[in-house]
């Protein structure tokens, strides 16, 4: 109501200014949508402060253009065409009800839902790029909509699967049509480019023809709010946003709490499901779940404990469990003969455990090499039963190990994380 009054009583110039109340509420909705979508993504590590800052900054730009368009549309109805006089506030409000319903309800709901989905997809895409060494391809997955888009239906019925860096994904992707609820799944299954044979991909809709993972824009500059803006819109938006504090664009504590809580809730529910699965599976023993921390552990009956250092694997599992992690020691008797398998999973990622009696630089490097010998290792875990670890020694060992990448001799792989344990404590747990 405050926004309508500001326009009616000409507290702002609708041509050269942006109405603050309408703008702030619009931006609030899009920032909520952004946080919700990111919280639904598969990898919290990719949601950096910088990425969220870009999304929030561009949400402000889009909201300002949207507000300028709305305020000019409704301001055009202020004058009674028959009498040439200013309408009463109540009559004007009744006359523009159809417009305000569209802007504040129907259109906003569609835009909000689309923003949620595209924020989710953007975070997933960043994850795909980081994982393409292991899972090089991406498959178009079916929609969850009760009214599937027939133009996108072709992709999932034909199981379209292309490399992450395929040119197709630069122009076509889920979320490039309004109300699209398709998704993508990363996979190491073979490419299926034949799915495009004889099919002309539909063009993205205006405003949805970009990849938010690349430019940080949930809605592109081709949206009609921008391309069909009233004269003076660009200058009005520029002037308005210059006056806003840069801190208003940054990641807020509320965003952090909202996204973190959503991830924590999802993690807890997944852990509960896994606990029930392992508890009811006779192939697993020592199954435990901590309802407060979400910690989970289980051991496959065919896990191959080292004759000399099997206790160390149990130590790693117990320390991980005590610190809220999910540590599953899996069977190592599967697959092709002589193929080397990882110990199991650490928070759902394939892990390998290397025990080194003392934490010398050379021993840490050897531990990393051991973990890299299992080529699918995602988390390298090094245990130092007799101590000796220091951050400086790890830094030097990591530098030496990373130097092996240039040799291209198969010794190096890029882990997702490195975990170090000493004195029954996790002393290091960081992305590689």
pLDDT on residue 225: 97
CA distance 61 to 218: 11
- In this structure, are residues 334 and 364 in contact, taking their beta carbons and an 8 Å threshold? no
The upper half-sphere exposure of residue 219, i.e. CA atoms within 13 Å in the direction of its Cβ, equals 29
The upper half-sphere exposure of residue 9, i.e. CA atoms within 13 Å in the direction of its Cβ, equals 8
What is the residue-wise DSSP string for 124-165?
HHHHHHHHTTTS-EEEEEPP--SS--HHHHHHHHTT-EEETT
Residue 141 main-chain phi, psi, to 5 deg: -100, 155
Give the pLDDT confidence of 354-365 residue by residue, as tens digits: 999 899 999 999
Which residue is it, tokens 């506030």?
89
Give the pLDDT confidence of 32-46 residue by residue, as tens digits: 999 899 988 877 778
CA distance 75 to 232: 15
CA distance 288 to 398: 33
pLDDT on residue 261: 81
Q: How confident is the model at residue 134 (pLDDT cuts 50, 70, 90)?
A: confident
Rama region for 388: left / alpha / beta (φ>0; ψ in -120 to 50; rest): left
pLDDT mean over 313-323 = 95
CA distance 368 to 358: 14
pLDDT on residue 49: 80
CA distance 196 to 157: 11
Geometric angle at alpha carbon 146, from 144 and 147, rounded to 5°: 110
**Averaged pLDDT score across all residues of the chain:** 91
Q: How confident is the model at residue 137 (pLDDT cuts 50, 70, 90)?
A: very high
Q: Give the least confident one: 91-100, 307-316, 415-424.
A: 307-316
Question: Sign of dihedral through CA atoms 4, 6, 8, 12?
Answer: negative
pLDDT mean over 53-73 = 95
CA gyration radius, the chain: 27
Give the pLDDT confidence of 322-333 residue by residue, as tens digits: 999 999 999 876
Give the contacts of 94 (CB within 8 A, at least 6 positions apart). none
pLDDT mean over 240-252 = 70
pLDDT at 250 over 90: no
Q: Give the least confident one: 40-44, 135-139, 207-211, 423-427.
A: 40-44
- Domain limits of the chain? 2-251, 267-431
pLDDT at 310 over 60: yes
pLDDT at 350 over 70: yes
CA distance 262 to 65: 30
What is the assigned CATH class of domain 267-431?
A: alpha beta
pLDDT mean over 389-395 = 94
pLDDT at 416 over 90: no
pLDDT on residue 238: 96
pLDDT on residue 337: 45
pLDDT at 338 over 50: no
Give the pLDDT confidence of 73-115 residue by residue, as tens digits: 999 999 999 899 999 999 999 999 999 999 999 999 999 999 9
pLDDT at 217 over 90: yes
Q: How confident is the model at residue 252 (pLDDT cuts 50, 70, 90)?
A: low
């Amino acid at each position: 109501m405050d926004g309508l009054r500001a326009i009616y009583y000409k507290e702002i110039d609708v041509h050269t200014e942006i109405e603050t109340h309408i703008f702030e509420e619009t931006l609030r909705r899009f920032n909520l949508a952004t946080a919700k979508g990111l919280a639904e993504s598969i990898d919290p590590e990719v949601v950096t402060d910088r990425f969220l800052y870009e999304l929030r900054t561009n949400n402000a730009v889009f909201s300002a253009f949207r507000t300028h368009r709305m305020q000019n549309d409704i301001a055009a109805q202020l004058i009674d065409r028959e009498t040439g006089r200013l309408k009463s506030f109540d009559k004007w409000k009744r006359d523009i009800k159809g417009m305000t319903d569209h802007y504040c309800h129907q259109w906003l709901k569609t835009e909000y839902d689309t923003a949620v989905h595209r924020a989710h997809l953007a975070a997933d895409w960043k994850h795909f790029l980081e994982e393409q060494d292991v899972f090089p391809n991406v498959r178009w997955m079916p929609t969850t909509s009760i009214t599937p888009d027939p133009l996108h239906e072709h992709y999932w019925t034909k199981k379209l699967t292309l490399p992450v860096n395929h040119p197709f994904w630069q122009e076509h992707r889920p979320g490039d049509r309004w109300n699209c609820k398709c998704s993508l799944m990363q996979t190491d299954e073979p490419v299926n480019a034949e799915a495009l044979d004889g099919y002309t991909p539909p063009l993205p809709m205006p405003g949805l023809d970009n990849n938010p993972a690349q430019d940080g824009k949930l809605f592109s500059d081709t949206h009609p709010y921008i391309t069909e803006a009233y004269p003076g819109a660009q200058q009005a938006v520029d002037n308005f946003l210059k006056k806003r504090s840069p801190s208003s664009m940054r990641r807020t504590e509320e965003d952090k709490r909202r996204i973190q809580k959503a991830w924590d809730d999802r993690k807890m529910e997944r852990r509960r499901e896994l606990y029930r699965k392992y508890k009811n599976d006779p192939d697993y023993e020592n199954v435990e779940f901590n309802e407060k921390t979400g910690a989970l552990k289980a051991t496959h009956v065919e896990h191959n404990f080292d004759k000399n250092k099997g206790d160390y694997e149990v130590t790693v599992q117990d320390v991980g469990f005590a610190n809220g992690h999910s540590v599953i020691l899996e069977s190592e008797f599967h697959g092709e003969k002589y193929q080397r398998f990882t110990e199991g999973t650490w928070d759902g990622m394939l892990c390998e455990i290397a025990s080194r009696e003392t934490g010398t630089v050379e021993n840490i490097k050897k531990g990393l090499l051991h973990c890299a010998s299992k080529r699918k290792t995602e988390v390298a875990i090094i245990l130092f039963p007799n101590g000796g670890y220091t951050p400086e020694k790890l830094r030097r060992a990591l530098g030496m190990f990373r130097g092996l990448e240039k040799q291209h001799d198969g010794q190096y792989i890029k882990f997702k994380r490195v975990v170090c344990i000493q004195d029954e404590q996790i002393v290091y747990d960081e992305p590689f």
